[in-house]
Amino acid sequence: MADYIYLLENRLSTAQKNALSSLREIVRAKGLTLFLVGGAVRDLTSGSPVRDLDFAVQGNALKLRKELETAGAVVTGSHDTAQALYLTFPGGVRVEVAATMTATHPKPGKPVLKASTILDDLRRRDFTANAMALSLNEGSYGLLMDPLNGVADIENQQLRLASNYGFIEDPVRMIRAARFAARLGWTLEEKTQTRYDTGKEEGYISAMQDWSRGYEAEEIVHEEDPLRVMKRLESEGWMQIVSPAWNSAKANVAELDKVREIQTQLQLQSVHPDPSAVNFPLLTAKMNAKEVEALKASFPRPGFVAEIDGLEAEGKEFATQLGGKSSAAPSAAYKLITSAKADVVLYVAYTSKSTAIQAKFKSFFGEWQQVRQTIPYTLMLEMRITPELPEYKELVEKLFFELMDGRLGTAEEMKAFLEPYSPPAPPPPVNLKRARATKKDAKGAKGRGKKAAVSEDEDDDELEENQGSGADDDDDDDDAEDAIELPDVPDLVGEALGDMSDDDDLDSDSDDEDDDEEEEAPPAKPAKAAAKGKAKAAPDPEPEPEVPVVKKKEPVAPAAAKKVAAKAPASASKGTVGVKAIPAKAVAAKAVAAKAVAAKAPVKVAAKAAKAPAKKR
């Protein structure tokens, strides 16, 4: 089902799709069901060009006449017995709408029709390839109905009778078999060929009705290559039955070839004319007027005869407009050719002797179409003019006409023309990343980080020394610490402040000093290990307290001072002698940092003094 929906969307011309949509809406409003049947389904399945559209309605199709005319269709004929209408929709689309029927044949060539279902209608048809239908109704759109397996015969390119008695029931089917074989290049299925030969020998064709004869004569004119079909019918002897006065020898072959060449050029430019009305005078060029009129009278579609007779007047009117001042500009002439009736355009392009008109058709087939290649799609993309815009197609056509008339010769002119259609630029994307630090800030942060790391390592080493020395005998350590005389804290604070006064900005220390501090830190670990080993090897007797010598320490970085200040309370809680704190209001921010250093210094000195006797022994 999906495959046929795709075919309906892509294989039909725009005019054919519009005709199908209009008919669907009318039938739905009437509460009827609609099906695409016959040759249209066959051509969609086989890949052949879809020449016309045949529809079947489960109801009386004659009652749709008023609504169809309101929708723009022109009724060219009707058949009351089959309840069928012959129409021409805008764009030259030929349509046949008939009621679904079942048929009985009490006599050859005289079927009795009765309203029935779509499946009964398919079974009464001529060949299996034509006995298929596509649903065009809601809920089953695109559903294929093929009760006689016509798809298989299409794949084999064979014509098979839908009924074993098909040629007897309706002898015109023998003519149709020859016509389809000539058009499609197919062959008759073996049994069908046998019945065909039997029908010719026994003269089944004598039972054919006059209406069927005229219908087949008109169908020859509507063929894509009528001469080929006529020659095939002549070889089978059927042209004498269809129209004794008409044969391929009465046609103007050279002019028919010219019309077909122009038709092909128009089709390449998306103009799809029906050449039937243009071909008819050429197919009957060597027939007298009386024979031509008799042939026209046999056609079942009077509207087609009126189209043939009125083609010359319509052609003159169109030629006057195309050669007038209103169509002097290339764009105006292009619009007129593409909007006019395609059959009339073909007629004027073939018959006009005007040099100006022929020059315009020459430009239409070649020069004007090349202008499309100069449309600046890259510039349009840069200006954010994309196919997603609602007015994109209309804008491309306007630009095409401006280029055709030579009004946009430079890139600046094109840009100025496109500027009003360019949508505003989108807002810039939000950047959620933090701003990158400046080089100076990054260097300072790096230096402070290194100093803080070195200071933290030194503090950790000192804590490990304290813990290691006190692991064996905590009481001895407490006694040693109690016996040490502490230096005056204010003096140490003063010394620290004096040392730091030489360099007010400690954050600007160089990377070399940081590297020196990092190099001095590692050797402390072996000394700790040796000290621990000696401490465990021999118990320490109570040493005599010695007065520690306090050495002047290097200025400590702010980061290191903060670390020391943070760890000072921890060491005090383990039994070390606390240092009396200085009120914060009495000193500045730098003095507070120096006090923390001074508070830490006696503890370190006391720990080293406690270890001194052990080292001497």
How would you write 284-343 as a 3-class SS string? CCCCCHHHHHHHHHCCCCHHHHHHHHHHHHHHHHHHHHHHCHHHCCHHHHHHHHHHCCHH
pLDDT, greater one: 489 or 55: 55
* 147 and 89 Cβ atoms separated by less than 8 Å: no
**Model confidence band, residue 460 (pLDDT cutoffs 50, 70, 90):** low
Residue 197 predicted with pLDDT over 90: yes
- 157-246: CATH number: 1.10.110.30
Q: What is the pLDDT of residues 364-408, one digit of tens each?
A: 999 998 999 999 999 999 999 999 999 999 999 999 999 999 999
Q: Does domain 1-156 have CATH number 3.30.460.10?
A: yes
Residue 491 predicted with pLDDT over 70: no
CA distance 556 to 598: 11
The pLDDT assigned to 85 comes to 95
The pLDDT assigned to 598 comes to 46
Percent of the chain with pLDDT over 70: 70
The pLDDT assigned to 236 comes to 95
pLDDT, greater one: 81 or 568: 81
Q: Summarize the confidence of residues 231-244 as an average pLDDT.
A: 95
User: H helices of 538-580, where?
Assistant: 558-573
Same fold, 1-156 and 157-246: no
Q: Summarize the confidence of residues 412-434 as an average pLDDT.
A: 86
The structure tokens listed for 406 are 């030579």
CA atoms within 13 A on the CB side of 497: 13
Q: What is the pLDDT of residues 108-120, one digit of tens each?
A: 888 899 999 999 9
The angle formed by the CA atoms of residues 244, 245 and 246, to the nearest 5 degrees, is 95
- One-character DSSP codes across 386-439: -TTSTTHHHHHHHHHHHHHTT---SHHHHHHHHGGGPPPPPPPPP--SPPPPPH
CA distance 241 to 175: 9
Residue 317 predicted with pLDDT over 70: yes
Domain ranges of the chain: 1-156, 157-246, 277-361, 375-421
pLDDT, greater one: 521 or 383: 383
Residue 585 predicted with pLDDT over 80: no
Percent of the chain with pLDDT over 90: 65
The pLDDT assigned to 440 comes to 56
| Region label for 542, one of left (φ > 0), alpha (ψ between -120 and 50) or beta (otherwise) | beta
* 98 and 63 Cβ atoms separated by less than 8 Å: no
Chain centre to alpha carbon of residue 100: 41
End-to-end CA distance of the chain: 105
Q: Residue with structure tokens 């502490």?
A: 486
The DSSP call for residue 92 is T
The pLDDT assigned to 447 comes to 55
SS3 content of the chain, % helix, strand, coil (to 5): 60, 10, 30
- Which residue(s) pair with 454 in the sheet? none
Q: Is 6 exposed, middle or buried (0-12, 13-18, 19+ CB in 10 A)?
A: exposed
Residue 557 predicted with pLDDT over 70: no
Please state the three-class secondary structure of 455-486 as a single string. Answer: HHHHHHHHHHHHHHHHHHCHHHHHHHHHHCCC
The structure tokens listed for 34 are 């609609």
Q: At what angle do helices 210-222 and 226-236 cross, to 10 degrees?
A: 140
Q: Summarize the confidence of residues 135-139 as an average pLDDT.
A: 94
The pLDDT assigned to 533 comes to 42
**Model confidence band, residue 566 (pLDDT cutoffs 50, 70, 90):** very low
Query: In the predicted model, what is the mean pLDDT of the chain?
Result: 79
The pLDDT assigned to 425 comes to 86
**Model confidence band, residue 438 (pLDDT cutoffs 50, 70, 90):** low
pLDDT, greater one: 459 or 25: 25
- Lowest mean per-residue pLDDT among 104-113, 119-128, 231-240, 244-253: 104-113
pLDDT, greater one: 590 or 77: 77
Say how many residues make up the chain.
617
Q: Residue with structure tokens 């086989």?
A: 46
Residue 522 predicted with pLDDT over 90: no
The pLDDT assigned to 436 comes to 65
pLDDT, greater one: 339 or 502: 339
CA distance 461 to 526: 11
Q: Summarize the confidence of residues 144-169 as an average pLDDT.
A: 95
Q: What kind and span of H or E run contains 554?
A: none
SS3 74: strand
- Which residue(s) pair with 94 in the sheet? 88
The pLDDT assigned to 210 comes to 92
CA-nearest of 607, 467, 498 to 548 is: 607
**Model confidence band, residue 569 (pLDDT cutoffs 50, 70, 90):** very low
- Lowest mean per-residue pLDDT among 63-72, 253-262, 484-493: 484-493
Q: Summarize the confidence of residues 539-554 as an average pLDDT.
A: 46
The pLDDT assigned to 250 comes to 95
- One-character DSSP codes across 195-233: HHHHHHHHTGGGG--HHHHHHHHHHHHHSSSHHHHHHHH
The pLDDT assigned to 441 comes to 56
Residue 179 predicted with pLDDT over 70: yes
